[in-house]
Structure 1
Amino acid sequence: MDPDTVDPETFMMNGAQSNETAPETYEPVQHHWFYRKEIKNSKEIWLPFSQRDSDALEAKYISDLPEEEKIVATEGGRFDVDIPKRIRNPVYWKGDITNVRRCSWFYKGSTTAKYSPYEEDIATNLEAEYRKCFENNQWHKRIELPNKDLIVLHSYDVLVLFPPSMSADDWSNAQSQVRPRVVRRGVEEFEIDEGEPEKVDHILFMVHGIGSVCDLKFRTVEEVVDEFRNISLQLIRTHYQSSCQNGISNRVEVLPISWHDELHSEDTGIDKILRSITLESISRLRDFTNDTLLDILFYTSPKYCQKIVSTVGQELNRIYELFKSRNPTFKGGVSLGGHSLGSLILFDLLAHQQSPIEDDSTSQTSKDRRISHMYGAMNTGIVRIHYPQLSFQPAALFAMGSPIGMFMTVRGLDSLGEDFALPTCEAFFNIFHPYDPVAYRIESLINPNLANLKPMLIPHHKGRKRMHLGKN
């Protein structure tokens, strides 16, 4: 039986009484802040903020500050919550504005496995009625809600919801298909995370590959990066527990960099043109091709390649400067990570950064020679692209499932040379799964003898074998 439904016959025999001793005095309910999240099939769920974020929201809520100053940075500073408006905004990327709520009473609907909070005014009324019942020791109070739901307060910890289709006088009918459901007061039974450390040790910018979604779950780059960040924090807490407790290791902030929407925006007109030339047959396959696979061809076009690299470069600089303005004490390093085509975009961008030892007196001829070396003697590479200069020097580039080696070969380059280096980035890691069909090695382009060297196996943090690593 669902533990959050009430069997009518059992409920009748027990007299709707609690087996626990009631507290002697009334204790006000503790509020916790939640935010709404849209899920598939137009459904929604409410998720709790971390304890640290909820405490910060509650402190600002009860403060005497003007309403325009009641804005709280939450979730590591990635979302701002406007308390008076009850909305939550993403800070670093474009995204949906979601509702937030100060919660204390919860119910479970008939179609969801998660609890949903009552609206704040309803919760306030329920708490007031609960207090009257408690202080007067007069229970079995019936409260009808605006949507015709009926809540019965049988005792201090037996609170029941009757849907409109079921009368509270009919629950002895064993044939009833609708069972009364438990109402929860407070958040004692919720799993609430303590929250992320405030201090950030390192930033990792992640650039996505082809298409508008990043995996077979059809998640966006922001959603995938959320999971990446959560796993990173989990590993730090479990593998460096002592350092975490002593404040030596804190967290890595992972932020998404998106370029697909800009490429397919109305400004470029790509999608409009594609719709006019796309055949009507096998429409789903053609839509997938236009949205995903054609991104590879667009990157080989000077016009659209310029749009992509400009977007990535501008977003990297914009988000980095915004992060520093919101975290003025940050002294950590920055790394870049790219998946699939995203790794190639970053590789090209970093290959065209001005070296710290170069200055304005560096001749254009020497720069052109470097570019020609990068893309082959036949000048078949993308040499007409203007690559923006980054406002920071990354510590490392992590290429995941990367086709860099293949693209270098297609561009007519048979060797990078053993003295090859990215001008402003000291470390480069080529990470791949052995069954990834678009991942290629790059070591042999630096030294042909490395083609026979087996890649290094990365131990999985739970003991499984998953990734392979090539380090240059």
Structure 2
Amino acid sequence: MTSSNCDSPVSESSDSNSIIKHWFYEHTIDAKKRWTPFSFVDSQALEEAFTSHDSHRSIITTDGGRFDVNIPERIRIPVYWKGENSEVRRCSWFYKVDSRSIPYEEGIADLLEHEYQEALRTEDWHRRVELPNGEQVVFHDANVIVHFQQKSTPDNWGTPTSPISKPRVVKRGIDDFNIEDGDCDKIDHLLFMVHGIGSVCDLKFRTVEEVVDEFRSIAQQLIQAHYRTAYDEGEVGRVEVLPVSWWNSLHSDESGIDQKLKSITLESIPKLRNFTNETLLDVLFYTSPVFSQNIVDTVANSLNKKFGMFMNRNRNFKGKVSLAGHSLGSLILFDLLCHQKSLVVNGDSHENVEAVKLVKPEVVRHKVLERTQSKQIDYRVGLSGTGQPLMKYPQLTFAPKNFFALGSPIGMFVTIRGIDKLGVDFRLPTCDGFFNIFHPYDPVAYRLEALVNPTLANVPPVLIPHHKGRKRMHLELKETMNRVSTDIKTKFMSSFKHVTETVCALNPITKNVNHKAIEQEVNEVIDKQLNSEINQGKSESANDETKDSNDNLQLGQLNQTKRFDYVLQEAPLEFFNEYLFALTAHVCYWESADTILFIVKEIYNSLGVEADKEIPQHSLKIERPTLKSSDAPQTSTSVERR
């Protein structure tokens, strides 16, 4: 593997005329090429292997171990998931297309560099370089270099067959790119994330690999901000996050399900019907005894395979493993974890066993019970009482430390399976921690605490703090509105009193009017609205004291007698219309800094590492990877979101 540390390497040359060769890889999106630079650490490792001419170093691990680069073939290969190999180049010269910077092929870049150095030596800048494809690059001076595309051949009337393109700007070096330092070698924890319905995970139509990339990037930035002291001292490094996909297996050509659905699908409203077949029907597939077995097997096998690959590539890893699932993915993991065996190796329970040394996978067989709510279907019921159509559940080769359910319908599915109560003794056999995280407007999410203990139904979920450690803008706005409402009431009553006194003075008939009764009626109307807003604010602020009262609640063993229903704070814009933002609320978790920080803190709390008490608010900005559909050359943008 690539040898690196948490510090960025020095990559500048003392010779101002020399060029730094940096390695790039290509993305092909909508038939457009988008080139992204490797991190400084990865590019340096690739350059060292390239210049060493060592055949044993032809394959270099990059991106924290998630990709391999074959230097002779110039391809980048994903390690933990199936995907297209991408082209790799050793770059130094670029030309602009719109706002995108595209590197020249290595041979052409060497030619341009040779001409550039000759122009510097002779001080003769009026040079015209012919390219192999017939195009030209003209050197006007050291800073003005343009690329003229090949002229179109005129027709019989002398008219060009295509519009004449403007000359392209040519750039030397990597100054226009925002290049990351590279992943830290120290991995503290491994987190697997399972997607929900459909082949895409959010409204940007990104795959699980893409959204997990952003999740991982934000997590590392939050670690560096909130654990700055421990990070600088080398006590913490990073959390590795790997995606787990099951959709492609279900909808593969081997299963034939898509072709069968196509043959029976009506031709009207095709886009809506295709959307239903590719996404919403996944829920029905999982409730089918035939297809649910395929889904569970795919997830379990993928987890075991990727865990084994990770351990082989990171032999010094001593950390724990956690699982996270979004939407239907959380239900799949929940059912899988409910049917795991309580692992005991050499007399120790699973809490004290290294994950890599666990038992060989096998199938758990539980007693089959018949439920009165559905007499036609036999349900396989776990040791603690959860049910699912008769299935064989594979065993994982590791014991998860925590399970994070994001926007999860677990509570609803458990209920419709005929289970009224899980009970305070219910727990996941091999997993200690469970956290049910949801957005308040998420239409798919359900609570779970009431299923463990019905008396918890009226206890509000725990409010997840903002990642900057302050109240959200809309909560502050509510408090401001309450103060403004009070001021408006005072001014209104003052004006109303003045008007009534004036009217009474002008009209003797109104002298007998009961002014106190009128004032009392107006007060009741205003107070009713004001109290409604205040009570809503109080119900939310009460969450701040919820953790202190956990000792008085019977929370059961699902999360080691701790709370496990956690709610996000809605964003300021979402506050104004909860129905409008219901759809975005269900897919917000992948890029929610509040969610990611909560998961990071729970992971490091289990390691006994505390976050810094204060963080530099002015400098805490989340750098998010640019959308793949963007043409911007930068690899990250600075924005602030949930």
Coarse TM-score class (shorter-chain normalised): 0.7 to 0.9
Q: How far has the Cα of 1:156 moved from its partner?
A: 2.6
Distance 1:101 1:75 in 2: 16
Distance 1:374 1:239 in 2: 49
Is contact 2:147–2:169 with CA below 8 Å preserved after alignment? Answer: yes
Distance 2:168 2:388 in 1: 64
The one-letter amino acid of 2:221's match is Q
Is contact 2:335–2:388 with CA below 8 Å preserved after alignment? Answer: no
Query: Which residue pairs with 2:308 in the alignment?
Result: 321
Is the alpha carbon distance of 1:464 and 1:106 closer, same or farther for their aligned partners in structure 2, counting shifts above 3 Å?
farther
Matched, 1:433 2:439: yes
Distance 2:372 2:323 in 1: 22
Is contact 2:365–2:392 with CA below 8 Å preserved after alignment? Answer: no
Is the alpha carbon distance of 1:182 and 1:266 closer, same or farther for their aligned partners in structure 2, counting shifts above 3 Å?
closer
Listed as ranges, the matches of 1:198-209 within 5 Å are 198-209=185-196
Matched, 1:446 2:452: yes
Q: How far has the Cα of 1:154 moved from its partner?
A: 2.4
Matched, 1:54 2:43: yes
Matched, 1:97 2:85: yes
1:44 pairs with 1, 9, 33, which one? 33
Deviation readout 1:142-166 (Å, 9 max, x if unpaired): 1122333322222233323334459
Provide the TM-score with structure 1 as the length reference.
0.86
Q: How far has the Cα of 1:26 moved from its partner?
A: 7.0
1:393 pairs with 395, 399, 408, which one? 399
Query: Which residue pairs with 1:272 in the alignment?
Result: 259
Q: How far has the Cα of 1:113 moved from its partner?
A: 0.9
Distance 1:219 1:240 in 2: 30
Deviation readout 1:308-351 (Å, 9 max, x if unpaired): 00000000000000000000000011000000000000000000
Q: How far has the Cα of 1:283 moved from its partner?
A: 1.0
1:419 pairs with 410, 416, 425, which one? 425
Query: Which residue pairs with 1:338 in the alignment?
Result: 325
SS of equivalent to 1:143: strand
Deviation readout 1:148-205 (Å, 9 max, x if unpaired): 3322222233323334459xxxxxxxxx996544311111332111011012111110
Deviation readout 1:415-439 (Å, 9 max, x if unpaired): 0000110000001000001111110
Is contact 2:151–2:164 with CA below 8 Å preserved after alignment? Answer: no
Deviation readout 1:335-380 (Å, 9 max, x if unpaired): 0000000000000000000012599xxxxxx9735x7599989654
Listed as ranges, the matches of 1:194-233 within 5 Å are 194-233=181-220
Q: How far has the Cα of 1:448 moved from its partner?
A: 0.4
Query: Which residue pairs with 1:242 in the alignment?
Result: 229
- Give the paired residue count: 430
Matched, 1:124 2:124: no
The one-letter amino acid of 2:284's match is L
Is the alpha carbon distance of 1:448 and 1:151 closer, same or farther for their aligned partners in structure 2, counting shifts above 3 Å?
same
SS of equivalent to 2:133: coil
C-alpha RMSD over aligned residues: 2.7
The one-letter amino acid of 1:385's match is M
Q: How far has the Cα of 1:282 moved from its partner?
A: 1.1
Deviation readout 1:11-63 (Å, 9 max, x if unpaired): xxxxxxxxxxxxx9773211000000122x32121000000000000000001
Larger Cα-atom Rg = 2
1:136 pairs with 118, 122, 129, which one? 122
Is the alpha carbon distance of 1:367 and 1:139 closer, same or farther for their aligned partners in structure 2, counting shifts above 3 Å?
closer
SS of equivalent to 1:36: strand
Matched, 1:471 2:561: no
Is contact 1:374–1:416 with CA below 8 Å preserved after alignment? Answer: no
Is the alpha carbon distance of 1:310 and 1:375 closer, same or farther for their aligned partners in structure 2, counting shifts above 3 Å?
farther
Distance 2:188 2:15 in 1: 46
Is the alpha carbon distance of 1:373 and 1:419 closer, same or farther for their aligned partners in structure 2, counting shifts above 3 Å?
farther
Distance 2:100 2:24 in 1: 13
Distance 2:441 2:109 in 1: 53
Matched, 1:303 2:270: no
1:281 pairs with 265, 268, 271, which one? 268
Task: Calculate percent identity across the aligned residue pairs.
Answer: 55
Query: Which residue pairs with 1:32 in the alignment?
Result: 22
Q: How far has the Cα of 1:279 moved from its partner?
A: 1.1
Provide the TM-score with structure 2 as the length reference.
0.63
The one-letter amino acid of 1:441's match is R
Matched, 1:349 2:320: no
Is contact 1:51–1:195 with CA below 8 Å preserved after alignment? Answer: yes
Relative contact order (alpha carbons < 8 A, sep ≥ 6): 1 or 2 greater? Answer: 2
Distance 1:178 1:81 in 2: 35
Is the alpha carbon distance of 1:375 and 1:205 closer, same or farther for their aligned partners in structure 2, counting shifts above 3 Å?
farther
For structure 2, the residue ranges without an aligned partner over 5 or more in a row are 1-13, 153-162, 348-363, 380-386, 475-539, 547-562, 566-642
For structure 1, the residue ranges without an aligned partner over 5 or more in a row are 1-23, 167-175, 360-365
Is the alpha carbon distance of 1:464 and 1:224 closer, same or farther for their aligned partners in structure 2, counting shifts above 3 Å?
farther
SS of equivalent to 2:310: helix
| Higher fraction of helix | 2
SS of equivalent to 2:197: coil
Is the alpha carbon distance of 1:372 and 1:347 closer, same or farther for their aligned partners in structure 2, counting shifts above 3 Å?
farther
Farther-moved stretch of structure 1 (244-253 vs 341-350): 244-253
Query: Which residue pairs with 1:13 in the alignment?
Result: none
Is contact 1:375–1:411 with CA below 8 Å preserved after alignment? Answer: no
Distance 1:162 1:267 in 2: 50
SS of equivalent to 1:238: helix
The one-letter amino acid of 1:296's match is V
Is the alpha carbon distance of 1:438 and 1:375 closer, same or farther for their aligned partners in structure 2, counting shifts above 3 Å?
farther
Is the alpha carbon distance of 1:373 and 1:59 closer, same or farther for their aligned partners in structure 2, counting shifts above 3 Å?
farther
Is the alpha carbon distance of 1:374 and 1:290 closer, same or farther for their aligned partners in structure 2, counting shifts above 3 Å?
same
Distance 1:375 1:53 in 2: 60
SS of equivalent to 1:211: coil
Listed as ranges, the matches of 1:179-198 within 5 Å are 179-198=166-185
Distance 2:72 2:265 in 1: 48
The one-letter amino acid of 2:200's match is V
Query: Which residue pairs with 1:368 in the alignment?
Result: 366
SS of equivalent to 1:128: helix
SS of equivalent to 1:134: helix
2:132 pairs with 140, 146, 149, which one? 146
Is the alpha carbon distance of 1:157 and 1:405 closer, same or farther for their aligned partners in structure 2, counting shifts above 3 Å?
same
2:467 pairs with 453, 461, 465, which one? 461
Q: How far has the Cα of 1:274 moved from its partner?
A: 0.7
Is contact 2:186–2:236 with CA below 8 Å preserved after alignment? Answer: no
Is contact 2:287–2:389 with CA below 8 Å preserved after alignment? Answer: no
Is contact 1:89–1:97 with CA below 8 Å preserved after alignment? Answer: yes
Distance 2:343 2:312 in 1: 24
